[in-house]
């Protein structure tokens, strides 16, 4: 299909992307800051932009989501531009076309239930679980030595636990019923409590307590997955709720000429209950 045969909106989309690529070329050539950037120097900025997008999604702020998607898209184009500047004979050199073609080929190869093979046959995948299982098997055929090798080591621990469990499930290693998972949560809770022996006054072994607490968190993440709760989202919403309520306490204290350090916990708790009633 030629460009002129595309729908007007698709033509606009492609022209917008071409405009971004052109601006990136100009900035890399003419702007001192952009010329100075490397893959490494952009990394922490990309992480920051990703978290900003995450915040906008949690707030369901569509204008902000559009802005943050643009910022991240700029970073992706920037990385590809830097990579395209490698020596011409470098086997690692690539540009944005290589990036996009590569991901297109991966999507096609990993969706054999949508795109037929050379013989015209498709893999059967009638539900999400079958799609995930097929996906993990295809990744192993591509050279991954472990189902879990695709979990980035730098992921935050809570997100990583969720991804590990999802991938293990894709390989068939999972509980059958959520009741079994809850039993595991209760078991881990008892093991965690056993490390403290609060009534006996025995000394706590920090390493053992930490290990049991980790097991408890892992089991809770597992149960959340079984009841379709994203634990990272749930915790972040609770963080935001706590911040809002705590700031309410601060505001009420200031309005009454008080500081938190001069108030008792019971006094602060009055404001906390007020904060809960207003949202």
Predicted TM-score (pTM) of the model is 0.73
pLDDT score of 236: 92
Share of the chain above pLDDT 70, in %: 97
pLDDT score of 1: 84
Q: Work out the average pLDDT over 194-205.
A: 72
pLDDT tens digits, one per residue of 56-114: 999 999 999 999 999 999 999 999 999 999 999 999 999 999 999 999 999 998 898 88
Q: How many CA atoms lie within 13 A of 208 on its CB side?
A: 10
65 three-class SS:
helix
Q: How far apart are CA 84 and CA 59, in angstroms?
A: 37
* Long-range CB contacts for residues 252-257, cutoff 8 Å, separation at least 24: none
pLDDT score of 117: 82
| Residue from 105, 112, 163 nearest 137 by CA | 112
pLDDT score of 80: 98
Encoded tokens for 184: 């595991």
Start-to-end CA distance of the chain, whole Å, equals 54
* Long-range CB contacts for residues 95-98, cutoff 8 Å, separation at least 24: 96/21
Which DSSP state fits 145?
Answer: S
CA separation (Å) from 113 to 124, 144, 167? Answer: 6, 21, 19
For residue 154, pLDDT over 90 is answered with no
pLDDT score of 198: 61
| Residue from 51, 75, 78, 77 nearest 64 by CA | 51
Q: How far apart are CA 181 and CA 211, in angstroms?
A: 19
* Long-range CB contacts for residues 24-30, cutoff 8 Å, separation at least 24: 24/74, 24/77, 24/78, 24/81, 25/81, 28/81, 28/85
116-130, 182-196, 243-257: which has the minimum mean pLDDT? 116-130
Distance of CA 256 to the CA centre of its chain: 42
Distance of CA 6 to the CA centre of its chain: 34
pLDDT score of 199: 67
Q: What is the pLDDT confidence band of residue 136, given thresholds at 50, 70 and 90? A: confident
For residue 53, pLDDT over 70 is answered with yes
Q: Work out the average pLDDT over 197-220.
A: 84
Which DSSP state fits 149?
Answer: G
Share of the chain above pLDDT 90, in %: 72
Cα radius of gyration rounded to whole Å, the chain:
26
Q: What is the pLDDT confidence band of residue 133, given thresholds at 50, 70 and 90? A: confident
Instruction: Give the contacts of 158 (CB within 8 A, at least 6 positions apart).
Output: 217, 221, 231, 232, 235
Q: How far apart are CA 237 and CA 240, in angstroms?
A: 5
Q: Write phi, then psi, for 125 (nearest 5 degrees).
A: -150, 100
pLDDT tens digits, one per residue of 178-199: 999 999 999 999 999 888 766 6
CB 74 within 8 A of CB 20: yes
Distance of CA 199 to the CA centre of its chain: 41
* Long-range CB contacts for residues 108-116, cutoff 8 Å, separation at least 24: 109/138, 110/134, 110/135, 110/138, 110/139, 112/138
């Amino acid at each position: 299909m030629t460009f002129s045969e595309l729908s007007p909106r698709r033509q606009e989309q492609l022209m917008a992307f071409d405009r971004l690529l052109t601006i990136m070329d100009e900035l890399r050539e003419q702007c001192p800051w952009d010329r100075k950037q490397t893959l490494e120097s952009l990394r922490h900025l990309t992480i920051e932009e990703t978290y900003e997008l995450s915040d906008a999604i949690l707030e369901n702020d569509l204008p902000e989501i559009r802005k943050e998607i643009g910022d991240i898209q700029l970073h992706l184009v920037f990385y590809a531009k830097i990579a395209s500047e490698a020596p011409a004979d470098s086997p690692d050199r690539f540009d944005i076309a290589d990036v996009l073609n590569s991901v297109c080929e991966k999507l096609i190869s990993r969706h054999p239930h949508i795109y037929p093979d050379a013989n015209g046959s498709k893999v059967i995948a009638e539900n999400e679980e079958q799609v995930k299982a097929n996906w993990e098997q295809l990744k192993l055929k591509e050279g991954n030595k472990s189902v879990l090798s695709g979990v980035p080591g730098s992921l935050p621990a809570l997100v990583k636990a969720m991804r590990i469990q999802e991938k293990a499930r894709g390989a068939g290693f999972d509980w059958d019923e959520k009741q079994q998972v809850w039993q595991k949560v209760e078991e881990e809770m008892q093991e965690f409590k056993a490390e403290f022996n609060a009534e006996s006054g025995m000394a706590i072994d920090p390493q053992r307590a930490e290990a049991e607490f980790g097991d408890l968190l892992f089991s809770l993440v597992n149960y959340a997955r079984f009841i379709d709760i994203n634990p990272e989202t749930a915790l972040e919403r609770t963080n935001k709720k706590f911040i809002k309520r705590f700031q309410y306490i601060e505001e009420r204290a200031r309005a009454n000429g008080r500081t938190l350090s001069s108030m008792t916990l019971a006094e602060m708790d009055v404001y906390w209950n007020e904060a809960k009633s207003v949202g």
